[in-house]
């Protein structure tokens, strides 16, 4: 029954295989620039109408647990999911209480529970395979926005994606009648390779809805009231996590909020962007919950904040199973500062080629990740040349290979580099130099 209910929530646009898994629909894209869980899967409070949020969350978690490779990596020509990405589905680092991401999630939960006891429903097991409609259309992302490109997003088929942000679940949860919620989960984006970017990371989305009685009692206009409540709430969250820090609000643009802001704090001698937020676009609220109400929404990246709080220098460390990393952290403790244990040197290899129409830097990085996995530390453009007569463009990229856990041999790095070279020539149709 739970699976059928979740399936009904998905809608008809998902592929049959994915819909059979009862997946649902599911951050904040780089659009400016571009109570504890009842179970590991679920929400803690039932929705006020329709089927319960706990039922939906548990069905989604079950779908994730049974998701097979053939249902995510398909023969559809639009499919661009790789094995290295599929293997991350269901790991759910944010559900591990002693992991840095789980510690940070717990601290944010503690803040909202203390400030608004019993108010926020928490979802942290929703399936990451979602309808493209939910990921884009239902939160008003324009049809021509760059984030819809297969260069940026992982597609199962034209109508189904790996969620780019936890905002992909926003409309669905509003339709359940839930008026205040936090959604935490893994999100997927094709991206560059360096110490702060990884194709899988974790986000938390927060939403709170207000009714006319609340802003009328305060003697304020609805947008003014929602904005004031938003800023008060998030300034308190920043202080809860970082202490008594200086803060500032920066005007921003997100398709799904207006007005929109980024919250920055002055921490360790520099301004740091903490999150994006704003007053929810009224059409989203009217269509999915009903007219006459106002809401705020925010989205934050757990890795970004955890790297700052815990002094973690490389985003790949979040995925390590090395106990020298994991044993440094304890559930509920935000004071830990990571002590580096790796002294292994990087190995640099260059690859130069004449580019093709199929070449993009994201496509190159996807191949490097597929071949080298987390041994790939950085991919950096070091030379660009356009031939004055032919007009052809040549790029030279430097790939840094490094293991956090051991020394790499010349033989294995040479083998990886040769596979990278042959694969980019075959897949991207570049001419090696």
What gap in Å lies between CA 75 and CA 65, rounded to an integer? Answer: 22
**Are 202 and 302 spatial neighbours (Cβ–Cβ below 8 Å)?**
yes
Over 50: is that where the pLDDT of 40 sits?
no
Of the pLDDT bands very low, low, confident and very high (cuts 50, 70, 90), residue 13 is very low
**Are 399 and 349 spatial neighbours (Cβ–Cβ below 8 Å)?**
yes
Which of the two residues, 19 and 61, has the higher pLDDT score?
61
What gap in Å lies between CA 92 and CA 88, rounded to an integer? Answer: 8
Assign 332 to helix, strand or coil: coil
Over 90: is that where the pLDDT of 240 sits?
yes
Q: Give the H or E element holding residue 184.
A: strand 180-188
Enumerate residues 6+ apart whose C-beta is below 8 A from 269. Answer: none
Q: How many CA atoms lie within 13 A of 177 on its CB side?
A: 8
Assign 280 to helix, strand or coil: strand
Cα pseudo-dihedral 251, 142, 298, 132, rounded to 10:
-160
What gap in Å lies between CA 402 and CA 282, rounded to an integer? Answer: 48
Q: Which two tokens stand for residue 228?
A: 């004031």
Q: Which two tokens stand for residue 47?
A: 């929705």
Rounded to an integer, the average pLDDT of 295-321 is 96
- Please name which of 120, 188, 200 lies closest in space to residue 160, comparing C-alpha atoms: 188
User: Which pTM was predicted?
Assistant: 0.84
CB neighbours of residue 317 within 10 Å:
22
Rounded to an integer, the average pLDDT of 348-375 is 95
Of the pLDDT bands very low, low, confident and very high (cuts 50, 70, 90), residue 67 is confident
**Are 58 and 135 spatial neighbours (Cβ–Cβ below 8 Å)?**
no
Over 90: is that where the pLDDT of 125 sits?
yes
Of the pLDDT bands very low, low, confident and very high (cuts 50, 70, 90), residue 195 is very high
Of the pLDDT bands very low, low, confident and very high (cuts 50, 70, 90), residue 66 is low
Q: Which two tokens stand for residue 209?
A: 């809805």
Q: For the purposes of burial, counting CB atoms within 10 Å of the CB of 403, is it exposed (0-12), middle (13-18) or buried (19 or more)?
A: middle
């Amino acid at each position: 029954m739970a699976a059928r209910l979740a399936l009904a929530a998905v809608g008809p646009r998902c592929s049959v295989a994915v819909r059979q898994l009862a997946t649902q629909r599911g951050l904040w894209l780089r659009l400016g620039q571009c109570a504890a869980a009842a179970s590991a899967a679920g929400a803690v409070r039932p929705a006020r109408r329709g089927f319960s949020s706990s039922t939906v969350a548990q069905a989604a978690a079950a779908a994730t647990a049974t998701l097979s490779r053939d249902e995510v990596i398909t023969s559809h020509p639009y499919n661009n999911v790789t094995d290295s990405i599929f293997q991350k589905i269901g790991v759910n680092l944010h559900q591990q209480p002693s992991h840095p991401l789980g510690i940070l999630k717990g601290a944010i939960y503690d803040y909202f529970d203390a400030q608004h006891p019993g108010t926020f429903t928490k979802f942290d097991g929703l399936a990451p395979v979602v309808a493209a409609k939910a990921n884009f259309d239902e939160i008003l992302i324009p049809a021509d926005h760059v984030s819809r490109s297969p260069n940026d997003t992982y597609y199962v088929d034209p109508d189904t994606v790996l969620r780019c942000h936890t905002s992909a679940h926003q409309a669905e949860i509003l339709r359940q009648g839930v008026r205040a919620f936090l959604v935490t989960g893994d999100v997927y984006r094709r991206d560059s390779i360096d110490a702060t970017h990884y194709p899988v990371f974790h986000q938390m989305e927060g939403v709170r809805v207000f009714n006319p009685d609340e802003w009328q009692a305060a003697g304020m206009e609805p947008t003014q009231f929602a904005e004031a409540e938003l800023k008060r709430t998030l300034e308190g969250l920043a202080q809860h996590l970082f202490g008594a820090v200086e803060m500032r609000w920066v005007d921003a643009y997100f398709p799904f909020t207006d007005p929109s802001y980024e919250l920055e704090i002055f921490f360790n001698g520099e301004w740091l962007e903490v999150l994006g937020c704003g007053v929810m676009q009224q059409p989203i609220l009217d269509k999915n919950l009903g007219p006459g109400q106002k809401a705020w929404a925010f989205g934050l990246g757990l890795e970004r904040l955890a790297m700052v709080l815990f002094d973690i220098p490389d985003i790949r460390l979040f995925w390590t199973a090395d106990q020298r990393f994991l044993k440094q952290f304890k559930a509920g403790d935000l004071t830990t500062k990571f002590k580096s244990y790796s002294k292994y040197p990087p190995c640099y290899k260059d690859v130069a080629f004449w580019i093709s129409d199929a070449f993009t830097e994201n496509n190159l990085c996807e191949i490097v990740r597929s071949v080298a996995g987390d041994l790939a530390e950085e991919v950096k453009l070091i030379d660009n040349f356009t031939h004055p007569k032919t007009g052809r463009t040549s790029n030279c990229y430097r790939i840094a290979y490094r293991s956090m856990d051991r020394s790499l041999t010349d033989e294995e790095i040479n083998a990886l580099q040769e596979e990278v070279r042959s694969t980019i020539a075959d897949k991207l149709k570049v001419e090696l130099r």
